Amino acid sequence: MILLDTSVVSELMKVEPDPAVITYLTVQAPETLFTAAICKAEIRYGLARMPASRKRDNLVARVVTFFETGFRDRILSFDSSCAVFYAEIRHARELAGLPIEVEDAMIAATARTYGAIIATRRTKDFIGCGVAVVDPWRGA
């Protein structure tokens, strides 16, 4: 199971996503690709902050298609099991002197709960979280 984090989902919303990301994703079995509810929240928040424009409207359409059609049954929820891992991750990172954004801790906790690998451009954000990460931009 691979959890696409916000950086990957955001890349896929581009008119011309990075070819390395597309290549990485096309060699994965579609049923192994998931995203997290928090990623949906981050993407929707980014859209909400954009001024009204044709560009925003086009992005909204792509986002709706992605989450409601393409990944409709593959959005992992943040539940009470995730909450336990979240607390452990935040605490471990604090002790290591590596503060972590709330959203990243939630994504890491979701990945730990479901046994997923996180696909992200920002691999350093998940050091010490007890999860495996892969950078699709690097193909590994």
Q: Is 135 annotated as a binding residue?
A: no
- Amino acid identity, residue 127? I
C-alpha closest to that of 134 among 114, 116, 115: 116
DSSP letter (8 states) at residue 32? G
User: In the structure encoding, which two tokens stand for residue 48, read together?
Assistant: 């909400």
- Under 8 Å between Cβ of 106 and 38: yes
Is 104 assigned to a binding site?
Answer: yes
Residues of the binding site for Mg(2+): 5, 104
Residues of the binding site: 5, 104
